[in-house]
A = this chain, B = another copy of it.
Amino acid sequence: MPRQSFAERLAAKQREISVSEFFERNKHILGFDSATKALLTSVKEGVDNALDACQEYGVLPDLLVQIDRVDRDEYHLVVEDNGPGIVKRQVPKVFGRLLYGSRFHTWSQTRGQQGLGISGAILYGQITTGKPAVVRSKTAQDDVAYQIELLIDTKRNRPQVLKRDFQVWDREHGTRVETHLRGRFINGRQSVMEYLRATAIVNPYARIVFQPPDGARRTFDRVSSELPRPPVEVKPHPYGVELGTLLQMAKESSHRRLTAFLQSDFSRISSRVAKEICREAEVPPESHPKNLNLSRAKRIHVAFRRVKIMAPPTDCLSPIGQRLIRTGLRNVVGSLRPEFYAPPVTRPPAVYGGHPFQAEVGIVYGGELPGDRPVEILRYANRAPLLYQQGACATAQAIESVDWRRYGLEQRGGRGMPYGPAIILVHVCATRVPFTSEAKEAISPIPEIVAEIVRALQESGRRLRSHMNKKARRAKTSEKFEIVRSVLPLMAEKSAKITGRPPPDITRTIAKIMNVIWIDERVVFEDGRHRVRVQVYNYTSARKRLALHAVLPLDALDEATVQPAPTQLRADGKASWKLPWIPPTEKVVIAFELVGLGRRGYEEGDLFVSGVPTTQVVGAEPLPGDWDLEATLSEGDDLPGDPLAEEVAESG
């Protein structure tokens, strides 16, 4: 029977596959599927590693990226950093083995995670050019740098060092990796330049020097010296830990009591919470974790969701932050003068599969942004830009699942990519970002992550809508303003002419139509000065008295121009004016000038009022509680129950 031996014949072929072999055959999975992309991916892996190293070490990154062309399709790539360096004995393993690294077994927010990236790039270079990589490293206490040439033995997934050397190096500490690879250098979309620019936007504390193959050296300067705090390691959070993983962890725990295991091997489980979990799960707290069986594990797993457990700690995550998102967007949008920057949203940390993560969103709207095409998306994961595979990315899927029509963007049927003059920036940071493949091009659409991005988008969307509503409300008020300022006087005049009678008094009609105190700020920029006029109109039917407050940029304020002098001006720039009584339909003006700000340095001030019900005020916000108002400017000057005001309110 020839078939008898078939299974045996098959068995003879069945054997283990080395991880290097695997990726050698599947190099496209690491992002090396075309010559153009291979070059970008190599740069990306080098830069990710370099930035991670510096951030962990706590130094401001100072990077060099250099690309030379050696042949028609062969390039020489250098990535250099001022990180901590690597001790000699580890250098071969870190760069010469796949799935080897320091970050996989710790839970913290880093760009690199798997111990795959840079060694993958070295593997790719070796496969395509046959040339070894050159790695140089110097730690702070070394006098000279250690340098090796290495290949990867893919059958065994082990480094093969061809040459060891010591080199004088002017960097105090750092690492330098040189590879040769088959690639193609391009400009424009999805290019190295675009990648580095996008990186610079959200890593403004880094200095990156880029030397392209031909053309001038380009430096992305450091614009902030504020290094994000180094990533903090955390334990897995109980939310989203799979049942099987829980069992596994219990089995491997060094603790002897279940409560101790829960308390130490997870984050956010205190001894009280650990006991509560055991009680809820009806599992003896003192039982040995090793003996946890499936049904007990299941009950504990369920109890995780029933017992109140704190959200994961935020200190393990380092979001870009609202200020930097806004700055970054301003850079990108450049000269298109958008109408509105929605205040960026940074969501509180959430958990998927035990990993804390945060979603952040920023939206820019209007102005000269093109309105007849899909919105532009800027994607980041752990502060690294994502340029490929947008369609497969959780960010795009989240955007497509939101009904943007509610927020004022065009969208067919309330699903899919919205159209309109907008740019949406999405950043996801996590102790582990779930990429769709090892090439780290797109975030996998894990439901928890998509949901958080959606929430951030909706929140941002609401801000966008509220901006549009405000625009509409302001337009409505300014319509009324036009009625009382322009139409009514003419109406009085004309009706008097036709009837042949004296002009009627229109004051009460005006109050009936407006019934607000209208605060109107006008800014004119000329001769390097911003001339600011704040006009306070009393368009109610009673005389009013109120206080106006503003935060003035003291550096720029020309104090001589402040008219009238503020009742109070504090060292932090907070200014208050107690205004005189304003009769109906009359106004009071406050003026000041600012010097030395750029044209766009002052667009409008934050104005606050006190002393009148804020529902009656348009154009200023109520004074916030933390303003620390002095006694002289107390509330209640406005007579409550003014009978005329009430009549107005009724019919208004």
List residues of A (42-87) whose CB comes within 8 Å of B's CBs.
56-57, 84-87
Chain B proximity mask over A110-134: 1 for CB below 8 Å, otherwise 0: 0000110000000001111111000
* Complex interface residues of chain A between 93 and 148 (CB less than 8 A to chain B): 93-94, 97, 99-102, 104-106, 114-115, 125-131, 139-141
The residue on B at minimum CB distance from A106 is B13
Interface residues of A in 1-45 (CB under 8 A from B): 1, 3-4, 6-8, 10-11, 13-19, 21-22, 24-26, 28-29, 33-35
Any chain B CB within 8 A of the CB of A242? yes
Residues of B within 8 A of A242 (CB): 127-128, 182
Stretch at the interface among A432-440, A468-476, A487-495: A432-440
Q: CB within 8 A of A128: which of B17, B24, B33, B243?
A: B243
Task: Known A34-B446, A243-B130; judge A140-B3 contact (CB<8 A).
Answer: yes
Which chain B residues border A445 with CB–CB below 8 Å? 33-34
Q: In the complex, which residues of chain B have a beta carbon less than 8 angstroms from the beta carbon of A139?
A: 4, 6-7
> Chain B nearest CB: distance from A24 CB in Å?
7
> A17-B115, A445-B34 are contacts. A432–B25 as well, Cβ < 8 Å?
yes
Inter-chain CA distance A246–B106, complex, in Å, is: 38
Q: Which of B104, B127, B444 is the one whose CB lies under 8 Å from A33?
A: B444
Q: Is A294 an interface residue (CB 8 A)?
A: yes
Q: A127 to B244, Cβ gap below 8 A? A: yes
Residues in chain B near residue A182, CB distance under 8 A: 242
Q: Cβ of A247 < 8 Å from any Cβ of B? A: yes
Q: Does A126 lie within 8 Å of B244, measured CB to CB?
A: yes
For A8, the closest partner residue in chain B by CB is B87
Most B C-beta atoms less than 10 A away, residue of A25, A99, A294, A438: A25
| Interface: A478 (CB within 8 A) | no
How many of these chains are in the complex? Answer: 2
A447 within 8 A of B: yes
List B contacts of A509 (CB < 8 A): none
Docked-complex contact A155 and B28, CB < 8 angstroms: no
Contacts A243-B128, A436-B437 known; A22 to B446 CB distance under 8 Å? no
Determine the distance from Cα of A41 to Cα of B401 in the docked complex, in whole angstroms.
Answer: 23
- The answer on a CB contact under 8 Å between B85 and A7 is yes
Asked whether any CB of chain B lies closer than 8 Å to the CB of A245, the reply is yes
Q: Is the CB of A17 within 8 A of B127?
A: no
Q: Is the CB of B13 within 8 A of A102?
A: yes
Residues of B within 8 A of A19 (CB): 19, 99
Query: Which of chain B's residues have a CB closer than 8 A to the CB of A106?
Result: 13
- Cα of A6 to Cα of B57 in the assembled complex, Å: 7
Report how many residues on chain A are interfacial, defined by Cβ distance under 8 Å: 83
A289 to chain B, nearest CB (A): 14
Q: Which residues of A in the span 162-197 have a Cβ within 8 Å of any Cβ on B?
A: 173, 182
Query: Would you call A434 and B102 a contact (CB within 8 A)?
Result: no
Interface assignment of A624: CB less than 8 Å from any CB of chain B: no
Q: Does A89 contact B (CB under 8 A)?
A: yes
A36 to chain B, nearest CB (A): 10
List residues of chain B with CB within 8 A of the CB of A102. 10, 13-15
**A554, CB-defined interface residue at 8 Å:** no
B392 touches A11 (CB 8 A): no
Q: How far is the CA of A19 from the CA of B102 in the complex (A)?
A: 15
* Interface residue A309 (Cβ < 8 Å from any Cβ of B): no
Interface hub of A10, A34, A93, A114 (most chain B Cβ within 10 A): A10
> Chain B contacts of A541 at CB under 8 A?
none
- Measured CB to CB, the closest approach of chain B to A118, in angstroms, equals 13
Quick check: is A90 within 8 A (CB to CB) of the other chain? Answer: yes
B7 close to A86 (CB less than 8 A): yes
Contact B127 A245 (CB under 8 A): yes
Q: Does A545 contact B (CB under 8 A)?
A: no
The answer to whether A294 and B87 touch across the interface, beta carbons within 8 angstroms, is no
Q: How far is the CA of A17 from the CA of B87 in the complex (A)?
A: 20
Contacts A114-B17, A437-B437 given; does A90 touch B29 at CB 8 Å: no
Q: Is the CB of B28 within 8 A of A444?
A: yes
* B17 engages A100 (CB within 8 Å): yes
Q: Give the interface centre of A15, A24, A85, A297 by most chain B CB atoms within 10 Å.
A: A15
Set of chain B residues within 8 Å of A7, measured between Cβ atoms? 84-87, 139-140
A128 and B154 CA atoms in complex are apart in Å by 32
Q: Is the CB of B22 within 8 A of A114?
A: yes
Q: Among residues 507 to 528 in chain A, which have CB atoms less than 8 Å away from a CB atom of chain B?
A: none
Name the contact of A86 in the complex, choosing from B4, B10, B26 (C-beta under 8 A): B10
Contact A16/B99 with A1-B141, A244-B127 known, Cβ cut-off 8 Å: yes
Mind listing 16 A-B residue pairs with CB under 8 Å?
A: A1-B140, A6-B57, A7-B140, A8-B87, A10-B56, A17-B104, A17-B115, A19-B19, A22-B99, A129-B244, A130-B243, A130-B244, A130-B298, A131-B294, A154-B248, A391-B391
A-side residues, CB < 8 A to B, are 1, 3-4, 6-8, 10-11, 13-19, 21-22, 24-26, 28-29, 33-35, 56-57, 84-87, 89-90, 93-94, 97, 99-102, 104-106, 114-115, 125-131, 139-141, 154-155, 173, 182, 242-248, 252, 294, 297-298, 389, 391-392, 432, 434-438, 444-447
Q: What 6 pairs across the A-B complex have the smallest Cβ distances?
A: A391-B391, A127-B244, A437-B437, A17-B99, A28-B444, A13-B102
Q: A7-B140, A19-B19 are in contact. List 8 more A-B contacts (CB 8 A).
A: A6-B139, A17-B104, A22-B99, A26-B114, A34-B445, A130-B243, A182-B242, A389-B391
